[in-house]
Amino acid sequence: MGTATHFLRLVNILKELESTSSRKEKALKLSMFLKELPKDEISPSVMLISGSIFPDGSGQILNISVKTVSKVLSTCKQGTLDSSPLTIKGLYSQLVDLASLNGRGSKARREVALSSLLSRASDVETEYVSKILQGELRIGLADGLILEAISKASSIDLNTIKSTYGLTGNLGETARMALIEGIEKLKNICLKPFSPVRPMLAGTAQNLEEAIRIHGRTSLEHKLDGVRVQIHKEGYRVEIYSRSLSKITQNLPDIVNLVQSEVMADETILDGEVVGVDSEYRPIPFQDLMRRIGRMANVHESISKIPVRLFLFDILYLDGRSVASSTYEVRRQQLECICSKGMLTPRIVTDNIAQAEMFFEDSIRRGHEGVVSKNLSGIYTPGQRGKEWLKIKKADALDVVIVAADWGSGRRFRWLSNYHLAVRDSHRETYLKVGKTFKGLTDEEFEYMTVRLLTLKVSENDFTVKVRPEIVVEVAYDEVQKSPHYDSGYALRFARIKKIREDKSPREVDTLDRLEEIYEAKFKRKARSTWNQH
């Protein structure tokens, strides 16, 4: 087995990575560290480095607030002489045990256990344990960088590593299999019912012309404003998972009944969207739908208050075999064979701009967000975003993450109501500010956001509360401008929050590259307009 690696070794690597600006160098240093680890320390090390103790969809959370960490830090004595050093496996195991403390008196028991853990840590180890507990490590070491390091350490190509992560949803397990069992093991990982996979994501096209230029003859489908769902069926058993791989079956018993009675396949994995509707079957706001999806009690009462419709648009698995590597055209045909037309997303197949524009306007009239263009020859790549699917929206909107909030003034003085918005720098794996806004939310939502943000508080200075970057919001804006006031170099003019995206994680927010594309496209449009005037 060998000697257990001290946690201080991992801390030193993290400090090295923090002082390294080059993404390539970061991936190389992390890969060298992974190669040196004993086999049984690879998975826990990667999970600690990622800042997420548990993989998506596990249903487990640490449930340790910033306030609890601060309280324990103020009382515990660190690094006593007779204490044994913290090891990577030991720390990870203790954090898992902490998460299992539930029920009456669990808060006090968690504080005692955390105090015992930190009493064995040096000052610098305590600093990094705190960062892990408070989610601050997620800022600098996103999944993409860790996957690159796993690829380098295992000498397995990055696409295979990404594919494995898409199928497992577990960074630690992906690293363990790659470094210990090798590429043959990864190639044999396959889809199976009730093991949810990370959903394939759409890139963005500026307009329909761009989408058709990239895809040629394409499948255009309504872009729905609902909750992404992955539905697994085997016989009469049906389970429904969210885009974060959490099981939400209990919130959608009406959809379960629909799938049991209407999907003509014994075994299948389906990809789709659940949309809330009013009495006339028009889409309702996303926030109203989330009140039902997030509800744990009185689910049957909410069925009548917030009815939903299921729209399916893809199939990954059918009667014993994966179909993810089939072309989209074939997958759609298979979907049409097992589902009625009313269960499928409306679509047209065309390369005609005029037809595409008519379909786009029809989608908007029906209350949807726009359209998605899908490459007919594209395969399904779990967990990856690319150009095989391209979304085209009516209004300019971006997904951003809240990194801080200001206490309001006047009527809003009781609430954290002016939100600091940020996009993701995918090269440096950090978040960069693009503006602030207090517009778009109701008083009820301000109150809700204040409670949420205070649980994520990292520090407070005057009127500003810095928070862990976890809450994703979709914002509309008038234009992207150059700005020296924000570290991104850009600002969103007249930003206003359209919706709180409880279904999205911070790693899914729009990137600085995307912002730059929008800014450059604006000048190209202006140049064409000026040229046409002469």
Query: How many C-alpha atoms does 335 have within 13 Å on its Cβ side?
Result: 26
Q: Which residue has the tokens 């959370």?
A: 61
292: amino acid identity, one letter: R
In whole angstroms, how far apart are CA 483 and each of 102, 281, 322, 509? Answer: 48, 43, 48, 20
The secondary structure of the chain in percent helix, strand, coil, rounded to multiples of 5, reads 45, 25, 30
| Strand, coil or helix: 418 | strand
Helix H or strand E encompassing 447: helix 443-455
Torsion sign, CA atoms 520, 526, 532, 534: negative
d(CA 519, CA 483): 12
Q: Are 47 and 53 contacting, i.e. CB atoms less than 8 angstroms apart?
A: yes
Closest-CA residue to 194 (of 249, 250, 143, 257): 249
**Side-by-side strand order, sheet with 237-241:** 237-241, 227-234, 267-276, 308-318, 321-322
d(CA 212, CA 172): 39
Judging by DSSP bridges, how do beta strands 385-393 and 237-241 pair with one another?
unpaired
d(CA 446, CA 415): 6
Can you name the residues that pair with 421 across neighbouring β-strands? 402, 435
DSSP sequence for 222-275: EE--SEEEEEEEETTEEEEE-TT--B-GGG-HHHHHHHHHH---SEEEEEEEEE
Q: φ and ψ at 442, to 5 degrees?
A: -85, 170
Can you name the residues that pair with 15 across neighbouring β-strands? none
240: amino acid identity, one letter: I
Catalytic residues: 223
441: amino acid identity, one letter: L
Q: Are 370 and 379 contacting, i.e. CB atoms less than 8 angstroms apart?
A: no
d(CA 428, CA 442): 35
d(CA 297, CA 281): 25
d(CA 396, CA 393): 7
**Side-by-side strand order, sheet with 201-204:** 201-204, 385-393, 370-375, 218-223, 347-350
